[in-house]
Structure 1
Amino acid sequence: MFFESILLNAIVSIVLILALIIDYVTKFFSYWYIRHIPYKSSIPFFGSDYHRVFGIRNTTQEVNKLYEKHPKEKFVGYVKSRIPDLVVRDPDAIKKMLSTDFANFHSRGLGLDKSQDVCLRNNLFYAEGEKWTLLRKGLESIMDSFECDFGHSLHGCLSGTNGDANVQQLLSKVLDAIFKDMLLDSSSDATVITNIRSTVQRRPLVDRLKSYLKNIFPSLYILFGLVTVPEEPSNKTKKILEQSKLMEKIKTGSVFQLGIKEKEKRTVSEVEFAYSMLASFVTEGYVPCHNLLTSLLYELAKSPEAQQKVRLSEEYLDASIKEALRLHPPYSVITRQCVNTYNYDSSLLIDKRITINIPVDALHKDKIYYPKPEVFNPDRFLDNNNSNAHSFAYLPFGTGPRRCIGEQLSLQIVRRITSSILKQFEIEPCARTPQSLPVTDYNFGRVIDRDIWVNFKPIRT
């Protein structure tokens, strides 16, 4: 219907357009209400995610808040922008979705394997479908062939340490040498590893904005052609990669590389592929190991009794590593996208493309499973010391078929480094040691947000 007045027609048109927009952005606001799932209320254009979008809370804080607000519920709903998301609180439901019914939740739903960033495209963390299967098979063959004899590297990096020291700097020297020996060659220049690591670890404003887009609006990250690690390796890097152990392993396991080329229908040189693999080992292996070691040494420095027990017992060392992973998990939230309409125990229908969120950090700090969860207490991981803990309330490496492929290798590295440090040094807090470990979200994971200093006192033999 049209009116004689142009102004009236314009007003009616604007009202209709606004009504259509509001209807579009609020279409799913009642999604969880209809399903009788407790949920956080939404506002147009932001959904329930306004605290995170405006920077009031990060992802960990937002998910933990929802977890704590509904202690008796299995599920809590919210809306990200306009699309429903689900927080899964119940460990039995987590087991069923991520393990038993993995076929319905095998996708992360990020689409970042389509990014222009070659390092993301060939990163197992972001891969989907057949590409994920090929990459995982190839990486398993590479990792099974690693030789972890790095005693000489450890001794050289730790020699001369005495007094107050920056833990991250010391560990960077150690891990640079270890990853160089594993992936490149003992005679190679470690700056290849160092450069990728420093690029990933530094967090200027531009990189934080990239991380924000990658995490909350991955489609925009792809649309703008953003990259995290420089895509084109330098001539020096290419030469080192051509002669590296990693390249040798890639060539002998070229079946999965060729499969990926065919799947993507694009040509990828062996050097480019090796560079993307090297970046994956740094971002998904080196950096989490670095953060775990930093948090473990920090906690042991504050707990001399636990530190002494670690020196005397490998079992207590393993328990201490598990406790550090509980308190400071590398990933606070695991996300999966439902790929088929899914009926959970005939009580909840989840539509295709709905994302589920597993609140790892919140589960690790739940008093139901871990008494005094804020306390560093490795004893809880000794046999029969924590009978209340559900096996799916402890997920530092994820679970199911997408469980972290590098779990055993990373634990082996962390054991060797920690054991070597504690055999040579007593560590204790110093004037610059923070009262609590400052951890924040970055690139889907958790990072330590400032330099950590402790005192290294050589043990006289």
Structure 2
Amino acid sequence: MLWIVVAIAVIAWVYRLLTRPHKYWLEKGVKQGNPGFLFGDNWGTVFRKRSFAEMVLMVYNICPKARYTGLYQFLQPTLLLKDPDLIKQITVKDFDHFVDHRSFISEDIEPLWAKNLFALTGKKWHQMRTTLSPAFTSSKMKYMFTLISQSGEQFVNHFLKKDENLITIEMKDTFTRFTNDVIANTAFGVECDSLGDRENEFYLMGKEITNFRGFWKTLKIFGYFVVPRVLKFFKVGIFSNRVRHFFDNLIKTNIQSREKHGIVRPDMIHLLLEARKNGIKHDEKLVQDTGFATVEESEIHKNPKNAKAEITDQDMTSQALLFFFAGFDSVSTLMCFMSHELAVNPDIQKRLIEEVDETRDVCKGQITYGGVLSMKYMDMVVSEALRKWPSSVAVDRVCTKPYTIEAKYPDERPLLLEKNAVVWLPIFGLHRDPNHYPEPECFDPERFNDRNKINIKPYTYLPFGSGPRNCIGSRFALLEIKTLFFYILSHFEIVPVEKTQIPLVISKKKFNLTAEKGFWLGLKRRSL
């Protein structure tokens, strides 16, 4: 009988231990929802009751008038910021308190991931960002445009060769093959044709490193959130040895070949090699920027004194791999959503095609960097696609030293954030807030016309994050998207087919924002 009493007492103690963290925000006077046992606010995503984006929106709407609300990533208390002024305060004005992202993998376990710009923290991040920043300016995008354009032309020629008036395709698979080829070409110096050679090694490796499905990978991700010290103790990494060897060897042999034969290509490896040898200075020439969604680089990254003295081959591999992660999945997904919106909004597509035709005529049939960026309506459509379907539905910041959010309203009290506290920028919530964007479910590029875009409240539109730690690749992503859609719409209309899901439903089975039944659409050949 005694052992039953002991067992009950132990169970009660463990239960209290695991539920105690979910009272953290209540004890600080912060409004929160109803977190599930152990899983916190992630319980719905874990058990596939709601998508991650829907979870962010749910927490965002817990208390409509609050400047912030509390949530729990499993047992980790997280503060979700809703007020644009507070977001600016934390990500810009007081950035020195919120420099880092939450770190999961230590460098000694997975250097291929831990050394990339997103994962680096503190001084190491600051040095690497300052070193890499000049490689992502508008002038450098112009430098790499030729390679992006080549991939776009190769993409559309693949479908022009087909003797079909209407080609039905699954857009996600198709666009990942395009983004794979762009990244291979611009970041790794490798030319691919993933539509023609569907089983090429580079594409298969890219699929493997960006695929987080499967029991063991899911278990790893769960472990990184709940018991990171255990995984660190057993040195559980993200990638297989095969993947590590492939990308390490790819960069090393590429560098050796270039240095031996004096090869120069307008790509990322060349820019990184230049940074390693002589450093790259910020080009202050006035070059047309990539659009409304482009994020400005902070002045703190333009001081060469903050740059890293040396970039190792491992550093270069890690940055190129991050480029792959961001470009392979995130950019291709945005392209899918944009394609769907054009297909179900034919009036918008018709106007965009008219602009594409006019631009092609002005450029005499050969698209230029300036031609792509001159398309105002294209920028409006891309900006609205990023508003409705942001590639990152939320991004985090970690409090690196104690910080107090002062009370602003009578029902608030000063909120102390201890060191290592996590805050979220709820991008999906901000972009779907009717107070910022009336009828947020409606796809309306006119929100971003010259008259309306000046009225968008700062820090309510954050497709590439905010502050000095924003996405360094915004210019590249926007240029890549606009270039491809220029080529597609020059020859095809994007139309719904029998398998198109209308209305589109967000998948609850995948962590990333994607469609429940895939992105099935048709490319209908235009009569030119």
Q: In which range does the TM-score fall when normalised by the shorter chain?
A: 0.7 to 0.9
Q: Shift of residue 54 of structure 1?
A: 4.5
CA contact (8 A) 2:189 2:269 kept: no
Whether 1:311 aligns to 2:353 is yes
Q: Report whether the alignment pairs 1:91 with 2:133.
A: no
TM-score (norm 1): 0.84
Cα offsets for 1:113-157 (capped at 9, x unmatched) = 436223311221121112211222333244454521143332232
Contact 2:181/2:191 (CA < 8 Å) preserved in 1? no
SS of residue in 1 equivalent to 2:145 = coil
Letter in 2 for 1:298: H
Corresponding residue for residue 3 of structure 1: none
Which residue does 1:377 correspond to in 2? 444
Q: Is the 8 A contact 1:25 1:44 kept in 2?
A: yes
Taking structure 1 as reference, are residues 459 and 217 closer, same or farther at Cα in structure 2, changes over 3 Å only?
farther
In structure 1, distance between residues paired with 2:117 and 2:510: 15
Which structure has more RCO (C-alpha within 8 Å, separation ≥ 6)?
A: 2
Give 2:389's match in structure 1, choosing from 316, 328, 338.
Answer: 328
- Asked whether the 8 Å contact 1:153–1:174 carries over to 2, the reply is yes
Give the Cα separation in 1 of the matches to 2:274 and 2:91. 33
Structure 1 residue aligned with 2:288: none
Alignment length (residue pairs): 444
Distance in 2, matches of 1:441 and 1:96, equals: 33
State whether structure 2 residue 414 is matched by structure 1 residue 348: yes
How far the C-alpha of 1:103 sits from its partner, in A, is 1.4
Q: From the superposition, tell whether residues 113 and 389 of structure 1 become closer, same or farther in structure 2 (CA, over 3 Å).
A: farther
- Please name the residue that 2:253 is paired with: 239
**C-alpha distance in 1, partners of 2:248/2:475?**
34
Give the equivalent residue in structure 1 for 2:482. 415
Corresponding residue number in structure 1 for 2:273 = 251
Q: Please, what TM-score do these two structures have when normalized by structure 2?
A: 0.74
Contact 1:311-1:422 within 8 A present in 2 as well: yes
Counterpart in the other structure of 1:261? none
Correspondences of 1:44-443 after superposition (within 5 Å): 45-47=38-40, 49-114=42-107, 116-144=109-137, 145=140, 146-149=143-146, 150-161=148-159, 162=164, 163=166, 164-185=168-189, 191=200, 193-205=202-214, 206-214=216-224, 218-219=228-229, 221-224=231-234, 225-228=236-239, 230-233=243-246, 237=250, 239-240=253-254, 242-243=256-257, 246-254=268-276, 270=313, 272-313=314-355, 314-346=375-407, 347-352=413-418, 353-385=420-452, 389-440=456-507
1:253 match: secondary structure: helix
AA of the residue aligned to 2:415: L
Distance verdict in 2 for CA 1:255–1:25, change over 3 Å: farther
Q: Gaps (5+ residues) in structure 2?
A: 195-199, 259-264, 280-310, 356-374, 408-412
Q: Which moved more, 1:363-372 or 1:184-193?
A: 184-193
CA-to-aligned-CA distance 1:323-343 (integer Å, 9 cap, x gap): 111111111111112222211
CA offsets per residue over residues 238-290 of structure 1, 9 Å max, x none? 53564365544433323799xxxxxxxxxx972x4443333211102232211
> What displacement does 1:12 show?
8.0
SS at match of 1:373: coil
Q: Which runs of 5+ in 1 are unaligned?
A: 1-6, 258-267
Amino acid of the structure 1 residue aligned with 2:183? F
SS in 2 for 1:279: helix
2:362 paired residue number: none
* Partner secondary structure for residue 390 of structure 1: coil
CA deviations 1:30-49 (Å, max 9, x no partner) are 43334322122456645555
> Mean Cα displacement is larger for which, 405-414 or 204-213?
204-213
